[in-house]
């Protein structure tokens, strides 16, 4: 059986939330916070692709189509050497406006506010990035990790090559966690396991990058062999409870506050 990390996370948040979403398949709407985070991730994916020399801006894509069409008509086309766009703050903001999804906001005013907040957030990211641009080797890299016969799938936001191995960067648009929470974060342990399989270099750093319009907060950590073994055990135990259909709810103010099913759940803690 294959599980995505988001399924694992939902089960850990509250087994009943997992039951609502993945067993009873009750649809949930994308919240404004999820939509905003998705837009930021898409913008940073495009930015990473530019760093890799892969990404083309909207204008570049149009230029390419025109070239192909003219070629097909047999017209003489002087092949212009297309320089990749410069990695400037203005380019990043242009990408942001291109990636921003406004459908989920209730009013135009809220959408405009979120768009401006995202612009400021990415300006803060640019300051962080330009202070020491890392050597990116992949963005939005899919992975699957085998844990006792179960396949866990997920995606790595950004992978950078560092002196002794690789650094995995995970972007967050939430409130920063503590150092201790980063050290115990199961998602990061899974990323370290994935890194072992994807790259022939050790994962020497796991970095949570909390982005906001006020600045960037880093939470750097790493995993030892015994921590990775412990992560495998945790995943195995969660999977065993899932297959035993143990959906007992674990209500808490923090989980229920953001739960998309709080309106239909009879034990919601709010």
Provide the β-strand partners of residue 268.
none
Q: Is 205 exposed, middle or buried (0-12, 13-18, 19+ CB in 10 A)?
A: middle
Nearer residue to ligand SF4 within complex by CB, 128 or 247? 247
Q: Which letter does DSSP use for residue 25 in this model?
A: -
Q: Is 48 in the site for ligand SF4 (CB under 6 A)?
A: no
- Classify the C-alpha dihedral 91-219-169-17 as positive or negative: negative
Closer by beta carbon to ligand SF4, 197 or else 252:
252
Least separation, in Å, of the C-beta of 236 and ligand SF4?
23
Site map (CB under 6 A) of ligand SF4, residues 4-23, x = contact: ----------x-xx--x---
Q: From 74-82, 148-156, 199-207, 261-269, give the range in contact with ligand SF4 by CB under 6 A.
A: 261-269
Q: How far is the CB of 28 from ligand SF4 (least distance, A)?
A: 10
SS (H, E, C) 125-145: HHHHHHHCCCEEEEEEEEEEE
Q: Which of residues 227-256 bind ligand SF4 (CB under 6 A)?
A: 249, 251, 255-256
The two structure tokens encoding residue 208: 């949570």
Question: What would the two tokens of residue 26 be?
Answer: 């009750």
In the complex, the smallest distance separating the C-beta of residue 114 from ligand SF4, rounded to whole angstroms, is: 25
Smallest gap from Cβ 19 to ligand SF4, in A, equals: 8
- The structure tokens 């003489």 sit at 76
Q: How far is the CB of 9 from ligand SF4 (least distance, A)?
A: 12
Give the whole-angstrom CA distance, residue 5 versus residue 153: 6
DSSP β-bridge partners for residue 160: 136, 167
| List of residues contacting ligand SF4 (CB under 6 A) | 14, 16-17, 20, 249, 251, 255-256, 259, 261-262, 265, 267-269
């Amino acid at each position: 059986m294959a599980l995505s990390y988001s399924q694992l996370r939902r089960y850990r948040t509250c087994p009943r939330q997992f039951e609502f979403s993945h067993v009873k398949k009750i649809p949930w709407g994308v919240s404004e916070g999820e939509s905003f985070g998705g837009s930021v991730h898409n913008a940073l994916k495009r930015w990473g692709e530019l760093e890799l020399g892969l990404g083309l801006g909207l204008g570049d894509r149009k230029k390419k189509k025109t070239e192909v069409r003219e070629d097909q008509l047999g017209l003489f086309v002087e092949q212009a050497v297309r320089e990749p766009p410069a990695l400037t703050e203005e380019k990043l903001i242009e990408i942001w406006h291109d990636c921003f999804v406004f459908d989920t906001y209730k009013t135009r005013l809220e959408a405009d506010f979120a768009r401006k907040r995202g612009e400021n957030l990415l300006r803060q990211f640019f300051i962080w990035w330009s202070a020491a641009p890392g050597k990116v080797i992949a963005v939005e890299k899919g992975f699957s990790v085998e844990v006792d016969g179960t396949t866990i799938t997920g995606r790595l936001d950004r992978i950078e090559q560092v002196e002794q191995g690789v650094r995995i960067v995970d972007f967050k648009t939430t409130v920063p966690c503590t150092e201790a929470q980063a050290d115990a974060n199961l998602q990061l342990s899974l990323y370290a396991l994935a890194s072992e399989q994807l790259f022939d270099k050790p994962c020497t750093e796991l970095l949570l990058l909390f982005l906001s319009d006020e600045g960037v907060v880093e939470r750097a950590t790493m995993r030892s062999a015994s921590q990775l073994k412990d992560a495998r055990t945790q995943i195995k135990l969660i999977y065993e409870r899932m297959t035993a259909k143990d959906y007992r709810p674990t209500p808490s103010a923090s989980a229920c506050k953001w739960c998309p099913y709080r309106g239909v759940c009879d034990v919601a803690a709010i």
